[in-house]
Each structure stands twice: as structure tokens, then as C-alpha cells.
Amino acid sequence: MVEPPRAVSQENNRMSDFPTRANVVVIGAGIVGNCLVGHLARLGWTDLVLLEKGPLPNPGGSTGHASNFIFPVDHNKEMALLGEQSANQYRDMQMSVDSGGIEVARTQARMDELTRRMTSAKAWGIEAHMLTPSQVKELVPFINEDVILGGFHCPTVSVVDSLETGTTMRREAIEKAGCQVFANTEVLDIETAEGAGGITTVAAVVTDKGTIEADYVVVACGVWSNRIANMAGATIPLVPAVHQMADVGPMDVLAETNNEIGYPIVRDMDTFCYERQSSGSMEVGSYGHRAILHHPDEIPSNAEAALSPTEMPFTPDDFDDQMETAIELMDMLGDAEIKYAINGLLSLTPDTMPCLGETTEVRNLWSAAAVWVKEGPGMAQVVAEWMTHGYPRVIDVHGADIARFYDQERSDEHIWSRADEHFIKTYGIVHPAEQWEGRRNLEVGPYFSRQQDLDATFFQARTWERPQWYGVNADLVERYGLAEREVEWDNRWWSPITIGEHLNMREHCGVVDLSSFQIYELDGPGAIEYAERLAVNKVDVAVGRSIYTPWLTPDGGFHSDLTMMRLGEDRMRIVTGVFDGGRDEFWTRRHMPTDDSVTFTNITRQLTTLGLWGPNAPAVLSQLTGQDLSQDGSPYGSIIDAEVAGLPVQLFRISYVGDTGWEIYTAWENGPALWDALMEAGADLGIRPTGGGVYGSSGRLEKGYRLMGAELESEYNPLEAGLARPRLKAADFIGRDAYHAAREAGDPEVSMCTLTVEDQTDGQGRSRHMMGGNEPILDADGGRIVDSHGRVSRATSAGYGPSVGKHLLMSYLPRELAVAGTDLQVMYMNEMYPVKVASTGAVFDPDDTRLKG
Amino acid sequence: MRILVCVKRVPAPGARINVTADGQTVDAAHLGFTTSPHEECAVEEAVQLTEAHGGEVTVMTLGPVAAEEQLRYAASVGAHHFVLIPIDDVDWDPQRTASALAEAIAAVEETNGAFDLILFGNESADAGGFQVGVRVANHLGRPIVNGIKGIEIGGEQGGELDEGVATARREIDGGFEVYNVPMPAVLGVKEGINLPRYPTMKGRLASKKAVVDTDERTVEAGGQVRLRLHRPVEQISETVILGTGPEAAPAVVDLLEELGVLS
């Protein structure tokens, strides 16, 4: 008897061919997995296997029920540029139609938000127009223009065929690289082994059809990704969440277009709904219902599902409010029949960004998850490039890097809480500085209760609470004659107290809590050699000296910028910011030699740091220590063991705010005593607790100090950022060849500049305050400034410089414009403001006399 | 005219139906719920009849409180009045169900007069007992015909057209049996009698305001006892797509050779 044939994919891989090993196994054949094998094949990878639990071409994941449209404008650079990249890939494959799309506003707040959308559209070079209600009606004749105030029209909104795109990319992988595809194949386990240096490394994928040993495994399993990663002991922090969608129709006005989509997609932003034509029907989708989250185990199998696993039973009660508002906007929807309605599942992460890159727990186990159809092809390219080149080339993805998450952010409790909080913000108006309500106080410094007593307003940096300003300093507002900002949006999540704290620090001194610093130490005979390999600048310096240095990607762009301190012959301390701690720790561990010559220790919770800065800082500190605090006894950049108020500390003479002083490191438990001693010693010298508004914004901006993730991204190199040293060090380091080539190429094409806003008055006569949210810097004619690599000039940071009396912006500019005095413009909320290039360095104390004089 | 439709809340299954560990019910963990398809058609038929002849449709269900969802669904497609006979989650046996329904129907009729037609689905989608409609008709002393795929109001009675008669068409091999049934009567309706409409959005919103009357009934259990449910062994029938277009030909030849069709 002949054994009956077994089910396989249309790509015709028979189970008798099921491989026992492969170079790369990609799990999941949705839009991401398919595009990933396609991109890997384009980059020359071979020996690929694609596994899929469901049938092809529609395995039953989120791709199969996606509404398949792309609104290209996003305030977030990564999402905007990868969305554009994806849209272009769909276009190149002739898998998309430009339907156009309109976001309509029912409220003035939304109209303001649409002006912000216009600004982001300008930044990314996407055509967009503001429309009056009657102009909206011209494009969408069945809309009720009486309930809207206006619209934001983007003609390049597109509708794509994600399933066919996936099939095409998969076939390309088969043709180019001989990728083997196995559908109806369930992954039961991912095995790991102890690799070189005792590092947990992916070894094999166990399926119901057999086991495949693999060098690399990529989890592209959409809503199931965390469950699959858990099999290997890794985490991909996402949760399956419901997005409700109902297909209603038929309606003659739609059917008459004889088209899948003949009218622009309408996003009814204030009701969190969209209306998207699908042939003769309208898909009404909602992000306005309660957050409905599921555990992966609650998702049915293909066999158990009435429709598909990710098309869960519709819960109509959750949709009723959206129906009412949808009918309000388009009356014809009321009489249309609800033919199909689902609780469709998609992936949400704790911070709304995707999960890309190698997992931190298991070497060679990669994540390509929490990616929606709109950015699928672009993000697949990112992961493929990352696997190939050591870092993506298409764009910097620090915001989507899975290594960004700290352990507490990977727990189900955190993922669910954050997803529950931000689901309603999917179409929301989200302020750039908006703070989370839930899951606060996860990590606090040792001064927390004191800061609460001082009425601190805390901002959360990933898991860490940091005082942004102190209510107790409200008297400074009066002292310095400060005021709230005129426009509520500009004033939101801001206080004039922060300006008061700045001016007080410049006049007297301030204490800044830096407990959230992420601190690592490298020890062992190979520590210094390894440190050299990470850093651009020479870190093999005298014991007691420190180096501020970039770390580069293999392509010579920024991966990190941080401080490295030589504490001993074989000991190097690394101090980095809390936003980058996860990525920097992973990068450090990832490149460590495997010969046991270096040990890595994270001592973040052992040490606390206080910044003491201002002209009175030496006078305050001198009361508490016998240490010579002169520039000779404690020179800039030195780190000295000392005693302060009887406590053992390390005094690090450095400043990120432009005034002299120290970062004082001491044991966590000594922190409160140090705080109290400084406050007491400084009582008559004008000392004030000083918040992150000074440290991270005004003090930094006046000095032109660059910030990782803002000014510093992998698309830029140290020459462009103005951080290149005169000489290239002899020792090898990651990115050296690329950096060397860039140096040899001569002057950089762009330079980082600080600009001053010359007039902040808007069309209504109000003073406005740009926030550094990628506001485009434009030439005198209002044209975008784009370099030969396609990089656009935009405000990477912005804020008021109290000591220079100007609102400051930072932006890369082409060399010919990067000249003090050049007049340009910035767009903010769809209005133009004159700006002037001030400097490629600091606008306050450019000679650093206050630091070193 | 006044029409009553009796419906049952049943799981909307996928390809595989799982049974709970105690074997007493379908595991609905991953499932939504719906109205039995025959009954969905019965509601549609009732709504169409009242649209054509005037009158109102009442929908009654015996089931868990959650079965209100099925009553509101009926409201969203045009039914007018709703009665829920609440029970615990475990199904009642057919005798007990029929007794409770008959009592509840009698109570409604005592107040508002007899229903001209009482429609059942031919059988429920989950238990498939084929009993309840017949038993209710028996309780109420009314004629019943099952397997109905067409209903017209007005039929021949004594050689003349009588508006008090319903003409019911029952599908048989090779044709239809046509029954002239004097009303009030009970009919068991089969899927295919019509194509049920979907609710409109306005219909759905209006259904939220529908008033559902609750009629609690205490009725003794009947003789049928559920021992346990079994899931039959799955007949796995898998499909291989050998390829598309001319490239598939070699694989087809290989397979035919493997099967011994070619030698």
C-alpha cells in the first residue's frame, strides 16, 4: 500500500525531503517571514527553510485578515521611513494601489494634530494637504461634512495585497536560494546548546515533521512569537490584541467604482475608526473599543477556529459605539448589512514599537515580530541586513531593537498593562513627552522619598523614574520672572520651573539625580583590549582617566555614545544612559571574547550617582571633603577616589550641562546621606535639586551635547556629528574600516548644528515652542533639505536655552549651510518660523571656560 | 399575523469540535455562539411573512442568560418581541425543553391570543434531537410538518382558497410534498428555505433597545439522559498541491507511477 501523500505547501516540498539541518530556519510565513526569506536570498543567503504551522498561502495569522492599507505619515522616524520603504517595495512588486487617504477631524485638538501631521509629512517628503469639510466631501461624496472640521489628505496612502506579496517574496527565495518551504508544520520546541564561551546558542528546531539543526532561527510568528521564543528561553515582549473590523455592504456607490478601492480611505481619528472600501463593501475598523488582550494559548488552532485562528469571534457589544459614530459620518453605512465581523488579532508591545533583532537571551535566535502589514517588507529587510552586516543599513532601528527592553519590560504583567493603556492611543493624539499612567515606580533612585517630599514631577525613562523638575522650586519662577507657555500643547508635560532650575544652576548650583545611569564593568586581562575594540577613541589611558567615546556599527555609524573610565590596569567602567542601557549591555556582551579573558558585571544597582554642577559646586563640595578640587587636583575628565561627608565616593570631573562640577559615584546605600550632606552644605550657596529638564534638555542644548537616539543614529558618523578626534587610533575597533574610509573621503557631507529660532510667533500671534520631534528644517523657499544619501535635515532635539535667551534646535545640515549666520526656516504645526545657524558646537560658553577655566 | 419562532443558542464551530473533559458539552473556549442555521432561516421566513402579510414576530429561546445575544440578533434582523426562558448552562432534555416552551407559549397566548404559526428549526445544530418542535406541537394540540422549505399563507381548504391555511412545501427525493395546514400550526423549517439577511448596523443598534421578557419555568426533567459526548475519529484527508502550470507535470507523473497507475 502506498502511503497517502502528506500536505505540503504549493512550493512542493515533500515531507520525505524534510531537512535535518539548515543555515537559517524562519518560523512563520506571514508577510514578515515571507519577505524575510526573500530579502535573505537577495543578500546571498542560502540553505534557508521556511516553516509554517498553517496552510499556504493564508496560514491564518494576522496577515490574512489585515486591512492592508498604508498611511505613510508617522511622527516616528523609524515607523515613517520603514513604512515608506515597505510601500515602495509593494509598489515595485505591483502589489499596491494608491487609493489616497484622509484623516478627518471632529475636534479642534485633532485639527491641531493634523497640522502636526502636515509637519511630519513635510519632514518625510510625503505629499499631503489640509482639506476643508467640503473638499473632503468632493473626494468622499458619501461623507457627512457637517460632523467634521476638516481633513488631512495624503494621496499616496496605498492598499496592498499582503498575501500575494508574501507569496511572491517566498517564491523569489525559492528560486534564488532554494529556500525549502514546509506548511502545516508545527514547531514543538527550539533547542539550544552551550556555544563558545558558555553562551546559550540556538541549535535546532523541533517540529511535528522532524528536527532541523540550524545556525540561525528567526521567529516571525506574529501574535505567537513570544510563545515560540519562550521555547528557547527567550522573550519577545508582545501580546495578541483585538482590533475589531466589520465588513458592511453591499452599497451601490461603492460597487459602481468596479474597483477593489475607488475612494480614499477615511480615518475618523476622533472616534478611532476607519472606513476602507473593499469592492462593493466598506470595512469599518475600530481602535476605539476596550483593549481586548489574549494569551497566545487562547488562540485556537486552524482546525478549531471558525474562521481563522486570528479572526476570533466578534464581540458586538464592543463595537456598538463605533457603529453609531460611523453612521454619523456616513449615513449609508446604517442600512448596509454586516456580512462579516471579526475580533482580528494583531501584536502590541509595551512601548508600541516592533521587536527586531537578535534576542538577548539566545545567540542566533532572532526576532522579526510585532510588525504590521504596513511596515512588513521594510522591517524584513532590516532584519535581513542586520543578520548580514551586523547592523541594518536601510535605517537606524534603535527604537525597534528588541535589546532595548529591560527585564521588567518583558514580563506579562508589564506587556499587558502597557498594551491595555496604549491601545486606545492607536489613533490618539500622543504628546511627545506623554507619560505612562500604569507600571510606574518600577525603578527608583535611593533619593526617591526625598524627591517626593520636594514635590518632584517624575518622568519615566523606560523603567526608571527621574525627577523632571521639583515643585519646591516654584519660587524660582518668580525670581527669574518666568511664565507658563502660551499654548497648552507646548506647555503640556513642561513647567517653567525647569527654566528656573537652569538659571539657578548657572548662577549658584544644582544637584541632579543620575541614579538611572547604567553602569557596567569589564574586568580581566583582556578587558582593556576588548574595551578598545568597542570604542572609537583610545580608551587605553592612564588609570583614573576617562574617555567619552562613540561606539560604531560595522558600517561606521553610531551604535552608542557613552563614557568609559579606566579604573585599574585590567578594569574598565562603562557608563551609559538609561534609554540605551539594554542595547549597550547586549552589544557589550555580544562582542565579548569567548576565552574568559574578560568578565562583564552590571553594577547599576550597586552605585548611585549625583551630579553637582554650577559655579558654587566647588564651594559646596569643599566643605565636605579634603580632596583638592582645583583643576589641578581634580582635572576635567579625571575620576578620583575620595571621601565626601565621610562616605567613600568617586569624583568624576565632567559635565553634561555646561557648568563645572562632578558626577559623584557612591554605594547605593550611601546615597541618601550624600544627598543630605550636599543639600546642607549648599544651603547658603543656592543649591537646589535640579531635574531632568535641565540635564537632558536646556543645559545640554546650550552646550550642543549630542544625545544617542536623537542626534546620534547609525545613519550618521562621528565626522558628521562633529565628534571625530584629530587622529584615528591605531587599535582596531568595530566600524574602523568604514570610519577610516569616511575620514579619508574628506569633509563630511553634513554637520550637526545648533540653530536659534529667531521669531517664535505663529499666525495667531502666539509664541510657539518646537519640541525636537523631527520638525523639518527648510530653506528660504520652504524646500526640504536632503543630502545625497536621502537624509533629511530635521530638528533632532529642541528646547529653550535660558542662558542664551533663544529657543534652540539641533539638526544636521549640508556643509554649505552649516555656517553660523545662515538663515533657514523650521516648520512647526504646519507654520514656518525663521531660524539661524548658530554653531556646530556650543552656543553657551563655547570655550568651556566654565568647565575647565 | 402573529408568528412565533423558537431558537437555540449553539456554538459556532470550527473544523474540529472539541468536547469538554467531562464529556457533557462542546468545549466553547475558542468559539463564538450563534443561532442554529435552520432557526436563523425560520426567523428570516417569519420576518418575510410579516413583511408581506403584516403582523409581528416573537422569538423565544430556552437557554442560558447569554442566549439573550441570539434574541437580540433576531431583533437586529426584524423580529419584534422576545422571550427568554433562562436555564443553567447545561442543556435541558427535549421533553423538559418542550414542556417549558409549551407552557411559556401558552402563557403568551393567554394574554395576547394564539400564534398563527409557530416555527422551529428542523433540528438543533448541536444536539440534533429532532424532538422539541414535535413535542411542543403535541403539547399544544396543533398540527406539525417538518422539513419545510417553503411557506405561503393561504391554501386550498374544501376546494376554496382559505387565508387561515398555510401551504407548506416539504422537500423529498425528486420533488416536493405540499401540505395545506390549518392555522394555528407548527412548522419545522429547513435551511435553504430562504437566504437569511445579515443585520444592518442600524438594525444592530436598534436591537440593543429591544425588550426581552424573562419567563422562568420550573419543569421536571424528562427521560433522556446524556451520558457523554464523543468526538469521532477524524478522517484526515490531506491535499497535496503538486505545483502549478506545466512545471507540475513531472511531479504528477512521479505520483502516478508511485501509485502504480503508470508502469
Q: Does B141 reach chain A within 8 Å, measured CB to CB?
A: no
How close A466 comes to chain B (CA, Å)?
A: 44
Tell me if residue A624 falls in helix, strand or coil: coil
Q: Which residues in chain A have Cβ-Cβ distances shorter than 8 Å to B200?
A: 248, 334-338
**What angle, rounded to 10 degrees, do the helices at A162-177 and A376-389 form?**
30
Q: Evaluate the CA torsion angle B93, B98, B99, B104 in order and state its sign.
A: positive
Angle A62-A366-A462 from CA coordinates, rounded to 5°: 85
In tens, the pLDDT along A133-174 reads 999 999 999 999 999 999 999 999 999 999 999 999 999 999
In tens, the pLDDT along A329-374 reads 999 999 999 999 999 999 999 999 999 999 999 999 999 999 999 9
Q: Out of A10, A313, A324, whose CB is closest to B31? A: A313
Provide the pLDDT confidence category of residue A853 given band limits of 50, 70 and 90: low
Provide the pLDDT confidence category of residue A9 given band limits of 50, 70 and 90: very low
How close A5 comes to chain B (CA, Å)?
A: 7
In tens, the pLDDT along A378-422 reads 999 999 999 999 999 989 999 999 999 999 999 999 999 999 999
Residue A305 pLDDT greater than 70, yes or no: yes
Chain A residues bordering chain B (beta-carbon distance below 8 Å): 2, 4-10, 12, 184, 246, 248, 298-307, 312-314, 316, 320, 323-324, 326-327, 333-339
* Interface-testing mutation among B201, B257, B259, with chain A (most A C-beta atoms within 10 A): B201
Q: Out of A8, A300, A334, whose CB is closest to B14? A: A300
CB contact under 8 A, B18 and A304: yes
CB contact under 8 A, A338 and B204: yes
Pairing relationship of beta strands A823-828 and A777-778 according to DSSP bridges: antiparallel
Chain B residue with CA closest to A251: the answer is B200
Q: What's the mean pLDDT when you consider all of chain A?
A: 95
Q: Which of A106, A109, A102 is nearest to A131 (CA)?
A: A102
Give the rounded percent of residues in chain A with a pLDDT score beyond 70. 98
Q: Which residues in chain A have Cβ-Cβ distances shorter than 8 Å to B248?
A: 12
The alpha carbons of chain A give a radius of gyration, in whole angstroms, of 28
Q: Does B13 reach chain A within 8 Å, measured CB to CB?
A: yes
How close A486 comes to chain B (CA, Å)?
A: 44
Chain B residue with CA closest to A323: the answer is B201
CB contact under 8 A, A334 and B202: yes
CB contact under 8 A, B201 and A333: yes
Provide the pLDDT confidence category of residue A99 given band limits of 50, 70 and 90: very high
The alpha carbons of chain B give a radius of gyration, in whole angstroms, of 23
Q: Which of A245, A262, A258, A259 is nearest to A140 (CA)?
A: A262
CB contact under 8 A, B31 and A306: yes
Residue A4 is predicted with a pLDDT of 33
In tens, the pLDDT along A769-813 reads 999 889 999 999 999 999 999 999 999 999 999 999 999 999 999
Chain A residue with CA closest to B28: the answer is A304
Residue A303 is predicted with a pLDDT of 84
Residue A471 pLDDT greater than 90, yes or no: yes
Q: Which structural domains are found in chain B, ordered by start? A: 2-235 (3.40.50.620)
Which range has the worst mean pLDDT, A95-109, A286-300, A548-562, B5-19? B5-19
Which range has the worst mean pLDDT, A119-128, B63-72, B149-158? B149-158
Residue A555 is predicted with a pLDDT of 96
Size of interface A-B (CB pairs under 8 A): 91
How close B153 comes to chain A (CA, Å)?
A: 28
Distance, in Å, from the CA atom of A596 to the CA atom of A594, rounded to the nearest integer, reads 6
Q: Evaluate the CA torsion angle A411, A413, A416, A421 in order and state its sign.
A: negative
Q: What is the residue-wise DSSP string for A403-449? A: GG--GGGGSHHHHHHHHHHHGGGTTS---TTPPPSSS--SB--TTHH
Q: Does B246 reach chain A within 8 Å, measured CB to CB?
A: no
Q: Does B252 reach chain A within 8 Å, measured CB to CB?
A: no
In tens, the pLDDT along B160-200 reads 778 899 999 998 888 899 999 999 999 999 999 999 999 99
CB contact under 8 A, B12 and A306: yes
Residue A797 is predicted with a pLDDT of 97
Residue B263 is predicted with a pLDDT of 67
Which range has the worst mean pLDDT, A16-25, A294-303, B156-165? B156-165
Q: Which structural domains are found in chain A, ordered by start? A: 15-63+162-237+351-412 (3.50.50.60), 95-159+240-346 (3.30.9.10), 439-514+608-713 (3.30.1360.120), 518-603+717-746 (3.30.70.1400), 749-853 (2.40.30.110)
Q: Which residues in chain A have Cβ-Cβ distances shorter than 8 Å to B204?
A: 316, 320, 323, 338
Can you tell me the mean pLDDT for B33-51? Answer: 96
User: Cell numbers at residue A137, please?
Assistant: 466631501
Residue B239 is predicted with a pLDDT of 74
In tens, the pLDDT along A207-261 reads 999 999 999 999 999 999 999 999 999 999 999 999 999 999 999 999 999 999 9
Q: Which residues in chain B have Cβ-Cβ distances shorter than 8 Å to A184?
A: 238
Residue B73 pLDDT greater than 90, yes or no: yes
**Residue that wins the pLDDT comparison between B21 and A469:** A469
Residue A28 pLDDT greater than 70, yes or no: yes
Residue B156 pLDDT greater than 80, yes or no: no
Q: What's the mean pLDDT when you consider all of chain B?
A: 92
Q: Which residues in chain B have Cβ-Cβ distances shorter than 8 Å to A8?
A: 240-241
Pair A809, A754: CB distance under 8 Å: yes
Residue A14 is predicted with a pLDDT of 63
Residue B157 is predicted with a pLDDT of 74
In tens, the pLDDT along A668-703 reads 999 999 999 999 999 999 999 999 999 999 999 999
CB contact under 8 A, B18 and A305: no
Q: Evaluate the CA torsion angle B50, B51, B57, B62 in order and state its sign.
A: positive
Can you tell me the mean pLDDT for A268-289? Answer: 96
